[in-house]
Amino acid sequence: MIRSFLLCFVLCAAIGVGSVATGTRQKSDSGRGVTLLIAGDVSQEVVDRVKEHLSKRLFLPVHVKKAQIPVDTSATDSALLLENLRTPGDLCSVCLAGHHLMWPAVTVVTKHRVGIVGVGILKPSTGKDREDRHALRVQKEATRACCLSLGLRECPFPRCVLLNALNDEDLDAKGSTPCPPCQKKYYEMLEDYGVKPVFR
């Protein structure tokens, strides 16, 4: 009798602990992350690479959506439109803009927490590996756009993804993740947003 009571007690305690653990996990992974908006002609491979990179290196869920931006709209004027397309609860919008060849590589409107990457302008003109190099450039600049839109500043360290590379050589040479001091600021910033990073 006592043994079965004890067994019952242990089982109930285990179920109780289990539900608390599940609750904690759901709380830390709130689902709030980045809305990745795709406007115009952007290859699926580039989209997949950027999505995977943002979720693995910035530790946030990424929600991919299609977006339409009128051709004659400037990057800055598009920010409000892109903010409105954000998945509810997400921290920022990053747009990969395929059609707008004349847009700058990165435009960030912090007021709306929107970063836009002009995919066309990042295309290398020569080289056998240009598709791969292009995808890597977009990946780096989407990471920078995301961090800047959330409130981080540019960084002078040549290997940091937050470097504002002024030419293709510097862009190809820089890394695709934040340097350690920027990473630390990034974690602090997520804490300010009330979001815990999701490590995979």
Binding site for Zn ion (CB under 5 A): 155, 157, 160, 162, 179, 182
Write down the least CB distance from residue 152 to Zn ion, Å: 8
Which one, 132 or 154, has the nearer CB to Zn ion? 154
Write down the least CB distance from residue 182 to Zn ion, Å: 3
Cα-based torsion angle of the residue sequence 179, 133, 150, 89 in order, rounded to the nearest 10 degrees: -130
Write down the least CB distance from residue 32 to Zn ion, Å: 24
- Give dist(CA 191, CA 49) in Å, integer: 26
Listed in sequence order, the DSSP H helices in the chain are 2-28, 44-57, 75-84, 130-150, 168-173, 180-192
Which one, 18 or 158, has the nearer CB to Zn ion? 158
- Give dist(CA 144, CA 139) in Å, integer: 9
Which one, 75 or 182, has the nearer CB to Zn ion? 182
Write down the least CB distance from residue 128 to Zn ion, Å: 31
Write down the least CB distance from residue 134 to Zn ion, Å: 23
- Give dist(CA 156, CA 159) in Å, integer: 9
Which one, 69 or 148, has the nearer CB to Zn ion? 148
Beta bridge partners, 36, equal 64, 94
DSSP class of 159: T
Listed in sequence order, the DSSP H helices in 70-179 are 75-84, 130-150, 168-173
Which one, 86 or 185, has the nearer CB to Zn ion? 185
- Residues of the chain by 3-state class (helix, strand, coil), percent to 5: 50, 15, 40
Write down the least CB distance from residue 163 to Zn ion, Å: 7
Which one, 124 or 197, has the nearer CB to Zn ion? 197
